[in-house]
Structure 1
Amino acid sequence: MAKQMMLKFVSVDRDMPEKRDANVRRTDFHEIYAEFAHEKAAQQAGRCSQCGVPYCQTHCPLHNNIPDWLKLTAEGRLQEAYEVAQQTNTFPEICGRICPQDRLCEGNCVIEQSGHGTVTIGAVEKYITDTAFDMGWVKPIKPAEDRAESVGIIGAGPGGLAAADALRRAGVQVTVYDRYDRAGGLMTYGIPGFKLEKEVVMKRITQLEDGGVEFVLNCNVGEDISFEAIRGKHDAVLIATGVYKSRGLQAPGVGAQGIVRAIDYLTCSNRISFGDEVEEYDTGELNAKGKRVVVIGGGDTAMDCVRTAVRQGAKSVKCLYRRDRDNMPGSQREVANAEEEGVEFVWLSAPKGFSGDTVEGVMVQRMRLGAPDASGRQSPEVIEGADYVEDADLVIMALGFEPEDLPKLWGADGLEVTRWGTVLADFRTHATSIEGVYAVGDIVRGASLVVWAIRDGREAAESILEYLTAPAQVAAE
């Protein structure tokens, strides 16, 4: 009977949850995909081939047991499916929404390689966990026994929260320090609601709070509290700050009013979605309404910016990227969604400078792709004499992020960093050069994916538990 539930890929086509009409969704910040109905979720899960070597699982950073929870979903055993999903992933409802499945699990689906269309893994994952919340299957964090040891976590993003969850379940006392007034990091203030509605993140924050995790918010380490004070207060420390320093651009006119950083723009928009009052939005500084908007960059942050500008009522939205569509780092699915919503992509173009004390235009260089660079990607080359001016009232710089100089900011001279400025940590244990201090996520990897930060946080929690237990074992011997 169970086998008949599976292997439907030969008779059932791939089918995503219904996508809201572009003309409707561009007017609000609600998620663009509807939920699967139970029957459709089971049907789509049943398309899984249950292959002997599940590449979907191999190419998932968390190595989620995808074939197992797809099979359970197809059989209608949703609570078991959720429990299996939760074993390897602290936040499956978030990964189901924002992971670039087209580059990870779904992009490596065996039946996709055979021409039948990939299983809709992300949509089923989202459905399973949303159903679990609705049905009350998501249980409170209740350690079997509390421990005396405490861990301080600096950064309330996905890596820090994943570690906090695992440590608290083991009974460790956990305090999370974060610079913002709400926990969640970029999941709260960086990713727009049309990809990840904030209620989804806040549910997990509430679960952690109810489970005994203490949050110290509006807290800048190095200003409000010293790094050494945190070390002195806790038995171990985890650095999970992420990377928030925006990459700049050296070009004439770059300091003009109306040229803003992507992180500032997205944070402002997300604050508005929470109902906060933001002066920069009210004055129009970080508000695209009625403006000709140009976003510079080709990653997922750039996609978030262009789609946010559309929803704020921009007159026009264009995205400049120096390579072509096939070589851009952002999700192709996000590009397609943006195009449906009216965004124009100007491929093979790069900014040369900006005109006006208050920005009036972007001086654009046309590019072509030349020989491959060290990474194997074709390097963009300037086409001489092909410059032109792109009119703009608001320019959003989405060129990526770099790590802050933590040793200098925190006075932590013993904290070793790489030549890129990221914290140097063991790739297995996540231990840094300072005993009892660990580091995870983007501050180690550089700007990366939420799913990688979750993996790092879970692994670091295991290492910290071993570290906390080791002194007791030595004493016992």
Structure 2
Amino acid sequence: MAKQPMLKFVTVDRDMPEKRAAAERNKDFHEIYAEYAAAKAQEQAGRCSQCGVPYCQSHCPLHNNIPDWLRMTAEGRLKEAYELSQATNTFPEICGRICPQDRLCEGNCVIEQSGHGTVTIGSVEKYITDTAWAEGWVTPAKPMQERVETVGIIGAGPGGLAAADVLRRAGVQVTVYDRYDRGGGLLTYGIPGFKLEKDVVLRRIEQLEQGGVEFVMNCTVGEDIQFDELRNKHNALIIATGVYKSRDLQGPGSGATGIVRAIDYLTASNRLSFGDAVPEFDSGELNAEGKQVVVIGGGDTAMDCVRTAVRQGAKSVKCLYRRDRENMPGSQREVNNAEEEGVIFQWLSAPKGFVGDPVKGVMVQQMRLGAPDATGRQSPEEIDGAIAEEPADLVIKALGFEPEELPTLWNQEDLEVTTWGTIRAEYTTGRTAMDGVFAVGDIVRGASLVVWAIRDGRDTADAVLDYLNAAEAVAAE
């Protein structure tokens, strides 16, 4: 009888891929986790309990068929595992690296609830697709039949790229427009290399190009080309711009030199990794070397900033967050990695004002948690008189992102937006009030996770195909 490859969680402990020592990894921007060896990937995949109701799958925005591809991995059927993984996820190797698995699939693993330690789902997912690339199993789109319809996609981030992939595989002619010189959006310029090395993103964009997707870069809609021109040029449009407008700080001195936006800081660092000239880094404006750095915020962007500052040689790095550790929005795994690398977290702390211009310090207000807010989280309250100055030469604002005013920028009064400024679009289809115009990702749901953008892109691409098919049927009558 063949040996049972699964249900090993009782006898085999959870074992993540080896993580480079903090003293080594905090000097470079390479990914911090090693790759599983084949035997280790099979062993860890074999810890899956194959439970009847897979909570890991139901808590994955893409509803990836996790138990089945874990079983295939445990049985050495890696090509089948990759094909099953790719069937629901356009970029599994990216999600395996950057998804907050501790909040999604792994955080809801049944064996974790029973005290045996969750299956290392993200690491196995990364291993499967990295192996697929190495073996040549990942191939460009080859539609069975070409279609004459064209679809324009505004934005080359994860949502736009996921939609482009689905549409191109269906034979649609796809053109992606993006304001930057490289595709990928925040995958390329917002997320540091120690979480997602850039060749992982660029090879996916190259794959899309080889499959027939056209990219028009350095193209800002509303300036280089008008929205109405795109509507006239294409049979359908998908808006996938993301949200790039940074939330701002208030308080005395908030306009001082040395207080910078997280997106500018991270983009400068990522551009350096490509060998680009970055004057703002060379001048010291967006360079943490030798500085006392204070990052304000508690999300994953804040974690990216503090860990980047460490690698740039900051004198000290501190993170201020107005709630406690248990109530922060960022991944706990990222917090642990940051602490290992020397970052100091000051919980229940908020900026009250800034000293000097250029900035020399942050006035830090101590907080306490009061009554829950509308989301159920406890609202932070100021503690009277509890204010202290924290020295700082560089302050990075990582308070989240808001949508740009697209109806104004694009001169489109009919483009409906919500009270939050996000585009009003139909759930699951991405349809807007404008005929033939769809929207996906953060520009619809607000700043969110990459995996949700991929889900939106795939769902909306299916809706666009339905729209094109309906139009074709009407034309044929």
**TM-score, structure 1 as length reference:** 0.99
The SS at the match of 1:443 is helix
- Report if the CA contact (8 A) 1:2-1:75 is conserved: no
Q: Any idea what the Cα deviations from partners look like across 1:292-312, whole Å, max 9, x if unmatched? A: 000000000000000000000
Match of 1:301 in 2: 301
1:288 deviates by 0.2
Give the AA of the match of 2:34. A
Match of 1:123 in 2: 123
Alignment: residue pair count: 477
Q: Any idea what the Cα deviations from partners look like across 1:52-93, whole Å, max 9, x if unmatched? A: 000000000000000000000000000000000000000000
Give the AA of the match of 1:358. P
Give the AA of the match of 1:411. N
Match of 2:447 in 1: 447
Note closer, same or farther for the CA distance 1:148–1:352 as it changes in structure 2 (3 Å cut).
Answer: same
Give the AA of the match of 1:330. G
Give the AA of the match of 1:329. P
Give the AA of the match of 1:204. R
Match of 1:211 in 2: 211
1:429 deviates by 1.3
The SS at the match of 1:152 is strand
Distance (Å, rounded) in 2 between the aligned partners of 1:86 and 1:239 = 24
Match of 2:145 in 1: 145
Give the AA of the match of 1:133. W
Q: Any idea what the Cα deviations from partners look like across 1:256-306, whole Å, max 9, x if unmatched? A: 000000000000000001111100000000000000000000000000000
Distance (Å, rounded) in 2 between the aligned partners of 1:314 and 1:165 = 41
Distance (Å, rounded) in 1 between the aligned partners of 2:327 and 2:290 = 31
Q: Any idea what the Cα deviations from partners look like across 1:430-455, whole Å, max 9, x if unmatched? A: 10010000000000000000000000
Give the AA of the match of 1:68. D
Q: Any idea what the Cα deviations from partners look like across 1:119-151, whole Å, max 9, x if unmatched? A: 000000000000000000112211111110000
Match of 2:98 in 1: 98
1:351 deviates by 0.2
- Report if the CA contact (8 A) 1:96-1:126 is conserved: yes
Are 2:389 and 1:389 equivalent residues in the alignment?
A: yes
- Report if the CA contact (8 A) 2:428-2:456 is conserved: no
Unpaired runs of at least 5, structure 1: none
- Report if the CA contact (8 A) 2:325-2:347 is conserved: yes
Match of 1:178 in 2: 178
1:421-432 alignment runs, 5 A limit: 421-432=421-432
- Report if the CA contact (8 A) 1:192-1:270 is conserved: yes
1:375 deviates by 1.2
Q: Any idea what the Cα deviations from partners look like across 1:234-256, whole Å, max 9, x if unmatched? A: 00000000000000111110110
- Report if the CA contact (8 A) 2:368-2:382 is conserved: yes
- Report if the CA contact (8 A) 2:82-2:129 is conserved: yes
Identity across matched positions, percent? 78
1:152 deviates by 0.3
Are 2:30 and 1:36 equivalent residues in the alignment?
A: no
The SS at the match of 2:363 is strand
Unpaired runs of at least 5, structure 2: none
Are 2:73 and 1:73 equivalent residues in the alignment?
A: yes
Give the AA of the match of 1:27. K
Match of 2:194 in 1: 194
Match of 2:468 in 1: 468
Distance (Å, rounded) in 1 between the aligned partners of 2:348 and 2:312 = 27
Distance (Å, rounded) in 1 between the aligned partners of 2:85 and 2:218 = 33
Give the AA of the match of 1:154. I
Are 2:280 and 1:310 equivalent residues in the alignment?
A: no
Match of 2:400 in 1: 400
The SS at the match of 1:385 is strand
Q: Any idea what the Cα deviations from partners look like across 1:10-64, whole Å, max 9, x if unmatched? A: 1000000000000000000000000000000000000000000000000000000
The SS at the match of 1:10 is coil
The SS at the match of 1:428 is coil
Q: Which moved more, 1:350-359 or 1:370-379?
A: 370-379
